[in-house]
Amino acid sequence: MADIGTDHALLPIYLVGSGRVPRAIAGDVSPGSYNKALQAVAAAGLSAKIDVRLGPGLSILVPGEADVLIIAGLGGLTIADILAGGREVATAAGLVLLQPMRDPAELRRRLGVLGFCLKNEMLVREGDRFYVLIAAVPGAMPAYSETLLEIGPLLVARPDPLLVPYVKARIARERQIWEWARKARGEAGRARAYLAEERIRAWEELVKCRSVQPE
Residue type, 210: R
Q: pLDDT: is 8 or 158 the higher one?
A: 8
Question: The pTM is what?
Answer: 0.89
Radius of gyration (C-alpha) of the chain in whole angstroms: 19
Burial class (CB in 10 A: 0-12, 13-18, 19+), 155: buried
Tell me: the pLDDT tens digits for 158-190? Answer: 878 999 999 999 999 999 999 888 888 788 888
Phi, psi dihedrals of residue 4, rounded to the nearest 5° = -95, 125
Tell me the C-alpha distance between 72 and 187, whole Å.
Answer: 36
Q: Are 97 and 135 in contact (CB under 8 A)?
A: yes
pLDDT value at position 138?
A: 96
- Over residues 95-120, the mean pLDDT reads 96
pLDDT at position 86 over 60: yes
